[in-house]
Amino acid sequence: MLEGVTATNVRLPLTPLPRPRSVLFAPGNRADLVAKLPRSAPDAVVIDLEDAIPADPDAKTAARPVARDAARDLIACAPHLNVFLRVNAVHSPYFEADLAALTPELAGVVVPKLESAQDVQQVVDTLRTRGLDLPLMAGLETGAGVWNARQIMEHPAVGWAYFGAEDYTTDLGGVRTAGGLEVLYARSQVALAARLAGVPALDIVVTALNNEAVFREDAGQGRALGYSGKLCIHPAQVALAHDIFGATPAQLTRAR
């Protein structure tokens, strides 16, 4: 660990989620969509206060109580579902207020754009001031986040991580392309660092909806690199993710 970062006693959930194949997102301001999250049977779900809500103080403020209530209702209805809530980045103006939407029954908190182990510790410390002791799913989606991927994931509060290709590319001043070679280095480094930290990593979002072939191709790349599963932004992506990531390495090797 880095100097100055003290070990924490954050506990992983009682029913741990070892290698999620699918993590399905819904906007935090849409109780109707949150309630439907279990229908596609994802391994985990995320109620989102970050990208799904406009970067506007009023919109963020309005979304928080909706997200909190929707989370509680969902957990009550689906007690075995791993329900996460995504807050805004720790250095954003929304982070502290977002914590009001968290409840101890969550499986964890998704924190986007983490850039260092110090960032992780700051999240943990802030959660504690609210009496919250939730494990984190760490978003690695900036240059610093990818560079420091190993130290971030080795923080004991981090239980899972994801790589965000769109934000990473934007941070570097680059452009996303169909082939994806512009993120192969970063995507590979996060997979390697995740292995060394002992943390399952979720692979990049596929933004092209209604295109099964593109999703399968991209998920196959993530699977080959060692990712445990996919961030999903549409319910139809969940079954595809289970199909790709549920297969054993031996099965996939045989098929090539």
Which residues lie near a second copy (CB under 8 A)? 19, 143-144, 146-147, 150, 169-178, 181-182, 184-186, 188-189, 191-192, 195-196, 220-221, 223-226, 228, 249, 252-253, 256
| CB nearer a second copy, residue 76 or residue 175 | 175
Quick one: what does residue 249 bind among a second copy, Mg ion, none, with the CB cut-off 5 to 8 Å set by partner type? Answer: a second copy
Question: Nearer Cβ to Mg ion, position 102 or 165?
Answer: 165
Binding pattern for the stretch 100-139 against Mg ion, x by CB under 5 A and - elsewhere? ----------------------------------------
| Cα torsion 100, 105, 109, 110: sign | negative
Identify what 167 binds: a second copy, Mg ion, none; CB under 5 to 8 Å per kind: Mg ion
Nearest to 142 by CA among 168, 124, 178: 168
Report the partner that residue 164 touches, choosing among Mg ion, a second copy, none (CB closer than 5 to 8 A by kind).
Mg ion
Q: Specify whether the CB–CB gap between 185 and 140 falls below 8 A.
A: no
- Judge contact between 41 and 238, C-beta under 8 A: yes
Nearer to Mg ion, 40 or 169 (CB): 169
Which of a second copy, Mg ion, none sits in contact with 6, Cβ below 5 to 8 A by type? none
Farthest-apart Cα atoms in the chain, separation: 53
**CB under 8 Å to 70, separation ≥6 — which residues?**
28, 30, 31, 34, 35, 47
Closest CA to 114 of 73, 58, 155, 166: 155
Minimum Å gap between C-beta 92 and a second copy is: 20
145 binds Mg ion (CB under 5 A): no
Work out the angle at residue 124's Cα, subtended by the Cα atoms of residues 120 and 127, and round it to the nearest 5 degrees: 135
Q: CB count, 10 Å around CB of 102? A: 21
| For a second copy, the closer CB: 41 or 224 | 224
In the bound state with a second copy, the residue whose beta carbon lies nearer, of 98 and 141, is 141
User: Which does residue 143 touch among a second copy, Mg ion, none (CB within 5 to 8 A, set by kind)?
Assistant: a second copy
Q: Which of 42, 30, 136 is nearest to 80 (CA)?
A: 42
* Phi/psi of residue 14, nearest 5 degrees: -60, -40
Interaction between residue 27 and Mg ion (CB under 5 A)? no
Residues lying near Mg ion in the complex (CB under 5 A) are found at 141, 164, 167
